[in-house]
Every structure is written in C-alpha cells, then in structure tokens.
Chains A and B, each alone.
Chain A
Amino acid sequence: EVQLVESGGGLVQPGGSLRLSCAASGFTFRSFDMTWVRQAPGKGLEWVSYISSSGIIIHYTDSVKGRFTISRDNAKNSLYLQMNSLRAEDTAVYYCAREMFDENTWYRAEYFQFWGQGAPVTVSP
C-alpha cells in the first residue's frame, strides 16, 4: 500500500523557517517524480514544487522561488521542503504527492495519484 506521511508543520513567525518531510513507503520511491501542493484555509489547491525521480529536475511556483527548496533522499525514501523567509500568505496545508502510474497499462504521467494527509503550516506573529 502506498503511503505518504508528512511531518514538520507548525506555527512559525513571519520571516522564519520550517522544514517539511514526507516519508514514502509501499512503492519504489527512487522511480517516481514527487510534488508539493498546498491549500490555504478554505481555498483551492496550489502547486508549489516538483522534483524528478533523480532529483536533477526541479521547478517552483513563482511565489516561492528563492525562498523554498525541494529535495529528496532516495536512500531514505524521503521528500523534503525547506521553507525560508515565510510569509503570512504561505499559511496552508502542505501535501506531498506522487506522480501517477497505472500498473495495468504501465502509463506514467504528471498527475498526482497519491497524496499524504497534509502538514499544516501557520505563519503568524
């Protein structure tokens, strides 16, 4: 069974830092691209960052460029999001998600098939 478990969320002051972790199990982590998606309170879904299976290709949404860093440790089956210079507008539940892979057809695509339970991040004085 695929499982993604986020940790590291919490309350932080504006300008502060936080590091989110996502522990993966039930699949070959090193073979899959991973993504962070966030959801502000009462709002919709917003893609935050992407990392390829090897860790070589990385992308960010514009609002977090230069402040957030995505990384992964394939030996530890873990995904990370280092968040610096946090702002009030970064307040959200942060989900890690795995790219889609259909075992019946061996089709792989950049949709988000498995999600963690979410890590709440609150940026407030």
Chain B
Amino acid sequence: EVVLTQSPATLSLSPGERATLSCRASQNVDSYLAWYQQRPGQSPRLLIYDASNRAPGIPARFSGSGSGTDFTLTISSLEPEDFAVYYCQQRSDWPPFTFGPGTKVDIK
C-alpha cells in the first residue's frame, strides 16, 4: 500500500501570501497524484490531477508540481476562501486508493 505523508500538518498564513504544501509517497507513484481542498462542512473538491493539471474550473493560483515521490501544491496568493484542509491522493498503485493525512491552511 502506498503511504502518503503531508507536511506541514498546519500552515498559518495571511491572505495574499504564498502557500507551499508538500506530499511525499512511500514509493514511486509517477505523476499519478491529485490534490483536493475541503472547506469546513463541505465535501472535498478536486483541484489538481496527475500532479500538475488543474481540474476544470479551478483558479490559476493553484498549481501542482512533482513526480515520483515528492509533490508540491502551491497557492500563489491566498484568498479568504482558500483557508481549508488540503489532501493528496494517489492512483498509481490501487487498490487501495490512498490519501494523505491532510494539511490545514489557517489564517495567521
């Protein structure tokens, strides 16, 4: 089973700042990694798929990079609605599909 770890657990930033979130896989997942956003009380939303492709309708301030075992989600300038929890998920070696534990981006 591919284990995903995310860091940091919490990221405290101000609106307008840049956010950099990390996801590391326990084995090579090529580029088969996605990022999701979950706002409080809401269902998750797909942001990025295959490591670097924005899902339809996702703003350009969200970008993803990486391949193999190390991945990054970058939010170039935080908007108020971006304060949420972010999860990574792999589809390289399934079942099972696995998610990381999440990174919470909160307001500093």
Chain A residues in the interface with B (C-beta under 8 A): 35, 37, 44-47, 50, 59-62, 95, 100, 102-104, 109-113, 115-118
Contact = CB atoms under 8 A, between A and B. Distances in A.
Interface in B84-99: 87, 89, 91, 94-99
A47 B43 contact: no
A44 to B, nearest CB: 5
A47 B46 contact: no
B50 interface: yes
B71 interface: no
B97 A35 contact: yes
Interface size class of B (residues with CB under 8 A): 20 to 34
Given A47-B98, A104-B56, 17 more contacts: A44-B87, A47-B95, A47-B96, A50-B97, A59-B96, A61-B96, A62-B96, A95-B43, A100-B49, A102-B56, A109-B91, A111-B49, A111-B91, A112-B34, A112-B36, A112-B44, A112-B89
Contact of B50 (A103, A109, A113, A118): A109
A117 B95 contact: no
B46 A112 contact: yes
B11 interface: no
A69 B55 CA distance: 30
